[in-house]
């Protein structure tokens, strides 16, 4: 009996690591794969004329809307940029594509805000262009860019690392502003949504020169967000570890090496604003709440603010009503969002 069992046992021991890697590789390919056309945003949006899209259709064309601030669709043009310039920013041999707006004299020395998009997003997304337009109207300089492996920027390996390498893209944009636009160190802030908020948080933790960060729907726990992304994609959550393992082998990236939550625990006397909708099913609200709680505990009183509120839009662009709860506060509470955004940066840069 022992002689019969031993070959089977040895075969299992030999095969298991390969099976584990194969399963992880499939998971990593699904979870970390990027999208270079940005879901139709480049076809329809420019800084001078844009609208939030759902199913590659502008929400302004939706046949039915609910919980969307009326003026965000009827008066969307108030947030369109007056103009923009394009730039190519180099980082680690890659070219990043950027759009920026610099205030005319005598306001060209106003602070800058760098806008960081989410996974498979781009600088042409409405959740980037809309708040950037709000800050332009308030007199700020803004720059939005495509992270590596996204949009019009260079493809490195075709995979997203959830901020583990993308944070260096943000630093490259920061340094480009200092070297090419006469921006002042300490007068450059970050705005990020979803994975872009997580990336902005990692950047904030890694580079103490950055004093101000607005994080809309950030993830805080790398291990947890990987499990939740698997759940969102309809995959077994127990394969999270296999996906992380495969990522290390395939790209050399450890998806859990840097934690966005370090931005909160190492905040010091810097400024942070955390925004999150309570119904969010893509990046669950516990991530934003954890970021908020840690920042309030470790930060200076008055330098940390949090806005966590119910937010959901209901729309119809393909014959059936659908809902969205992720990064929607700027649509459901537009006026308040704008007021809070401007007040935060005004106070933080004062």
- For residue 1, name the pLDDT band (cuts at 50, 70, 90): very low
Whole-number Å distance between alpha carbons of 338 and 107: 20
Q: What is the pLDDT of residues 105-128, one digit of tens each?
A: 999 999 999 999 999 999 999 999
Please report the DSSP string for 197-238 in residue order: HHHHHHHHHH-TT--EEEEES----HHHHHHHHHHHTT--GG
Q: What is the pLDDT of residue 324?
A: 97
Q: 160 — alpha (psi -120 to 50), left (phi > 0) or beta?
A: beta
Helix, strand, coil share (%) of the chain residues, nearest 5: 45, 20, 35
Whether 234 and 143 map to the same domain: the answer is no
Q: What is the pLDDT of residues 78-107, one digit of tens each?
A: 999 999 999 999 999 999 999 999 999 999
Predicted confidence at residue 13, as pLDDT, reads 40
CB 287 within 8 A of CB 218: yes
Distances 169 to 94, 132, 213 between C-alpha atoms, Å:
9, 19, 16
Triad 107, 108, 109: Cα angle to 5°:
90
Highest average pLDDT, of 218-222, 260-264, 318-322, comes from: 260-264
Q: How far apart are CA 294 and CA 186, in angstroms?
A: 23
Domain boundary among 252, 270, 303: 252
**To the nearest whole percent, how much of the chain has pLDDT over 70?**
88
| pLDDT of 29 over the 80 cut | no
**Residue 6 pLDDT > 70:** no
Last residue of a domain, one of 236, 252, 268: 252
pLDDT at 263 over 50: yes
pLDDT score of 12: 40
Strand 321-324 versus strand 85-91 pairing type: unpaired
User: What's the pLDDT band for 290 if we cut at 50, 70, 90?
Assistant: very high
Domain match, 242 and 333 both = no
Do both 23 and 92 map to the same domain?
Answer: no
Give the pLDDT of residue 23. Answer: 65
Check residue 97 and give its pLDDT.
Answer: 98
Q: Which of 6-20, 141-155, 188-202, 238-252 has the lowest mean pLDDT?
A: 6-20
CA dihedral 152, 157, 158, 159 (to 10 degrees): -120
Region 277-303 average pLDDT: 97
Residue 330, CA atoms < 13 Å, CB-side half-sphere: 25
Closest CA to 236 of 248, 228, 244: 228
- The pLDDT value recorded for residue 272 is 98
- Say which range, 33-37, 103-107, 277-281, 339-343, has the weakest mean pLDDT: 33-37
Residues 289 and 185 in one domain: yes
**Range from 30-39, 202-211, 315-324 that averages highest in pLDDT:** 202-211
pLDDT on residue 342? 98
- 89 & 21 share domain: no
Domain count, the chain: 2
What is the pLDDT at residue 9?
39
> Residue 214 has what pLDDT?
99
The span from the CA of 196 to the CA of 98, in Å, is: 15
Q: What is the pTM of this model?
A: 0.92
Domain co-membership, 217 together with 243: no
Q: In 3-state terms, what secondary structure has residue 322?
A: strand
Residues 94 and 154 sit within 8 Å (Cβ to Cβ): yes
pLDDT of the residue at 247: 63
More confident call, 31 vs 292: 292
| pLDDT attached to residue 210 | 98
**pLDDT value at position 8?**
41
CA 331 vs CA 44, 73, 136, 252: distances in Å = 19, 9, 18, 38
Clarify whether residues 192 and 142 are in a common domain.
yes
- CB-hemisphere CA count at 13 Å for 279? 13
Whether residues 199 and 106 share a domain: the answer is: yes
Claim to verify: residue 151 and residue 89 sit in the same structural domain: yes
Token look-up 């119910």 returns 310
The residue range of the domain holding 328 is 38-221+259-349
Question: C-alpha angle 85/213/338, rounded to 5°?
Answer: 70
| Structural domain ending residue among the three candidates 204, 234, 252 | 252
Could you give the percent of the chain with pLDDT greater than 90? Answer: 74
Can you list the positions of beta strands (E) in the chain?
53-54, 57-58, 64-66, 85-91, 94-101, 112-116, 141-145, 188-193, 212-216, 271-277, 304-309, 313-316, 321-324
Question: Are residues 150 and 164 located together in one domain of the fold?
Answer: yes
**Same domain, yes or no: 312 and 247:** no
Question: The domain spanning residue 83 has which CATH number?
Answer: 3.40.50.1820
**C-alpha dihedral over 213, 218, 223, 224, to 10 degrees?**
150
CA distance 315 to 14: 52
Partnered with residue 94 across adjacent β-strands are 91
CA dihedral 81, 84, 88, 91 (to 10 degrees): -40
pLDDT of res. 219:
95
Mean pLDDT, the chain, as a whole number?
90
In angstroms, rounded to a whole number, what is the distance separating the alpha carbons of residues 169 and 146?
9
Supply the pLDDT for residue 21. Answer: 59
Q: Tell me the average pLDDT across 159-178.
A: 95
Within this chain, do residues 86 and 118 fall inside the same structural domain, yes or no? yes
- Split at pLDDT 50, 70, 90, the class of 157 is confident
């Amino acid at each position: 009996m022992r002689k019969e069992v031993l070959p089977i046992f040895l075969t299992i021991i030999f095969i298991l690591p390969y099976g584990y890697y194969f399963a992880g590789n499939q998971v990593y390919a699904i979870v970390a794969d990027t999208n270079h056309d940005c879901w139709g945003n480049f076809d329809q949006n420019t800084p001078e004329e844009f609208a939030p899209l759902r199913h590659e259709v502008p929400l302004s064309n939706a046949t039915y809307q609910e919980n969307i601030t009326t003026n965000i669709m009827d008066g969307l043009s108030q947030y369109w940029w007056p103009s923009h310039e394009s730039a190519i920013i180099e980082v680690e041999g890659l070219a990043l594509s950027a759009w920026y707006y610099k205030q005319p004299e005598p306001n060209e020395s106003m602070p800058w805000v760098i806008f960081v998009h989410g996974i498979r997003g781009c600088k042409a997304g409405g959740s980037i262009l809309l708040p950037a337009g709000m800050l332009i109207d308030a007199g700020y300089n803004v720059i939005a860019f495509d992270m590596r492996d996204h949009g019009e920027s260079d493809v490195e390996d075709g995979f997203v690392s959830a901020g583990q390498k993308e944070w260096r893209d943000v630093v490259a944009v920061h340094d480009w502003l200092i070297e090419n636009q006469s921006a002042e160190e300490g007068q450059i802030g970050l705005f990020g949504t979803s994975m872009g908020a997580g990336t902005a948080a990692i950047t904030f933790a890694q580079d103490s020169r950055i004093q101000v960060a607005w994080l809309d729907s950030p993830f805080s726990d790398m291990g947890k967000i990987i499990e939740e992304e698997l759940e969102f994609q309809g995959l077994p959550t127990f394969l999270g570890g296999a996906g992380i393992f495969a990522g290390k082998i395939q790209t050399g990236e450890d998806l859990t090496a840097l934690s966005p939550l370090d931005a909160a625990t190492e905040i010091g006397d810097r400024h942070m604003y955390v925004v999150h909708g309570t119904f969010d099913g893509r990046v669950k609200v516990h991530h934003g709440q954890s970021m908020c709680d840690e920042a309030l505990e470790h930060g200076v009183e008055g330098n940390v603010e949090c806005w966590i509120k119910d937010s959901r839009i209901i729309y119809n662009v393909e014959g059936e009503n659908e809902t969205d709860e992720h990064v929607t506060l700027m649509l459901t509470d537009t006026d308040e969002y704008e007021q809070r955004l401007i007040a935060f940066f005004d106070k933080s840069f004062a």
